[in-house]
Structure 1
């Protein structure tokens, strides 16, 4: 019973404390005042409440919402004030902690902002949770409960009351006209909407939600599709940036090669000019010294003759006649001396080469300016210029060599042997045909190399895809779609690709052949003594390697020095 009595006592005290709590600040009343409607508040709380209201409808009771056209005279509620003082004096006896709020001039509760902001409760200035539409007031969670219990319509704090009311009748909009799709209040039904199909707002609200729900999957799927396309575009943008950057880097490399070639060509020409100049100046110097000596001898002879004519008497003249005659004979010999003219220095050949390079660059630049060049024309230069611009010296791959092919120490010569060499097993090694490929693998750009076949009467030289098989009868160079080769047999030449033969006319006895590979154009041009012998064309999307087939003696790559 004691426990029940204690619990009942605590409950009674709680009820008393609730009645002595200001409905605005939720603290014990401080200087409580009563309004004409009977509700009491702290003086500071009610005054601040009226100051923060923006409406011009007079003073409103925060509790019952009664409007006072004029500010009522606030009278102290003596009974509540005395009860509050008694509670404060007996708080230790009650076993409760009673907090007393110190009201200031600016804020009702410390840390709470006043001023009628729409995000704050109009009763306690705490953070507003909802707006009560019928009461037109912002409420926090604590002050919201009475409105919920009365079934008032609640909206988010940011919603303005004006938007929820009928413009004509200033009443809440609760109905929807299906005929003209407008919102209206109850009073509107008696006007122009009298015969219209009018329903509660909840009905079109539910219907519209259903329509949106039906379209939601389609919208979500469309978003996923667009997101996927956006990712592809972004990836392509990145690839474009990378590819263009790589292309620019390759162009810079080509520019360096062209500049290097031009600089080396000019330097070689200047060196040759200087060499020829020094040789000719040396010969001219010797001629000049000889002529100067002859001139000096003539001066002395002339001086002697002048003396003989003017100064010597007969006896002296005759006594020196022998020496004078001797000098005259020497002077007569000078008349027969003829200077051998030296050849004029001629640099027309070097100038022609440079003019050709300049003209080529101008023509190519004009084509670039007119639009993209899909298949640039082959460089119209002699093999010497091809060597300087694109020269390579491929190295043979011992791991690919047939067992009856011996590779030299510098990896440039392949020699046919009649016995098997002790090579280890390797997946890249040719096992049927006496062939070998290079270590070099070309997938882009232009490349030029020279092969010497002077020691071989029967051989093949060309290129093959790196992916071409090395085993079995399908690996013969030129007899499959993955290789292109130049075939020599007893000074007769032909071109092979995919088992298709093209006989070639190669005048003379050529020992060296040049190969110019243009990966982007898909072409390989075979030169013989600066003459185009054949142009191979094919799909060179996969990397290719120079290849050699040796059936007797040896074949080797010529070392090219740029």
Structure 2
């Protein structure tokens, strides 16, 4: 029965023991004290934890902070609970606990070395023996034992002796980390030694300090963990807000595209309705004409049945004078120009969206960002619609469509495109190459030499995808393949007037311009070599013979005329060796002040180089002469 009751009470005692355990030492409370937050700890454990701290003390369990050191008072109720828990149990259980306690005391008891029966009360460190009160009496009474050192009972006295000199340990060598006797001091003379008590006090203080440091380190780790959790939650909130903003932006884009779709479909439906109404009206007229013919047929048949000759002749004369015109069906066609314009606007919008979605940000800080090309493309396409000679009445609608294209593009694309368009105004300044001094000339020469030694793969890091500016194209220059291919048309294309358009020379400029940095593009020559490839300032003239590439101080070019190759600048020609290259590379170094024209074959070969101190923005420029000449801009991935 006792064992059964003990078994039933064990879970309750275990639960009570968990509640009465100090969270610092993980043992049953010893003199428990309560902190202001309500948690309890051993007084000695809490004092050791707070050692050396005066302000910003914290609870070791809940981390609650206190501005000043709280007054700790003994929790008397908890003390009585601990005492009752330690002395809990009745009957056989109590006897078992007492027997276990007696066994533990017997195991730890030190007996007298003289009688080997009584418990020792003190140990003589001089005699190296423990004595009971009876056998310890000579140490108190006899003057011979007056100098002997007595201490509480000590077990294993042999471990306190030096194995070499058989003398008691009295000192501690901090350098070797061992206890030594007085004779060992001679061999440890260079070392730092101290008494055992001093070494104990010093080590104990160091361990307490280490314990405080570990506690502070633990608190800092907890603070760092809390900080990481806070940052993580903030990042999650930021990502959630960004997702909401992105959803809103894409919903707006979808709404704009749906609006464009509805407007385009409405144009086709209205045209269909207009044509169908006309056919309904004509069908109604033809029905009336059919009824009129049927009525005349009936009258003629009735006249043929008349027996009276006089009446017959009168009716026949009247019927013969009645004439009915042949049924006429006018030609009614849908306005295919309008429908084609609506369809083309959808194609243009699709291409613009594709370019905007697939565009990648240029990694070079001094290059041209390719994200604005979709906006240019949409603008150029709408300009093409405005210039279409097939239907001049769609100009206003085309302008409205162009504005709607811009609304459909991403905001960052529109802003960047507007910035680029604002900077297209020609810079005012006197053109010229300048005269660099000798040191600069040497550096430029070395720089050019270094670029000429590089393979094409290294130059591709400066690659720029050039598109042609529709508003600069001469009326005989036809643009195709998304404004990357140019050719000479046999007939005038009747482009609308634009202040940037060439009027005398069949030329066109690139849409991109460069003010600084290094840029490289390639042009493929097709079918005919009556052409020129070069660069120019935006302020170069658009009219007169001086507007031809190389015939002024604002342009530099390489020209193919029959089998003759020439370099032109400021109306000065320099004949060059013939080359059969079909692909030309142009390397522009704005800061270095030079442009290289290279033949792209298995390796790059220099055709000609121009040195100039560029004072304005520089545009790629192209000249085409005879019918059949075709130039294509190579689209390269840097």
Q: TM-score, normalised by structure 2?
A: 0.32
Larger radius of gyration between Structure 1 and Structure 2: 1
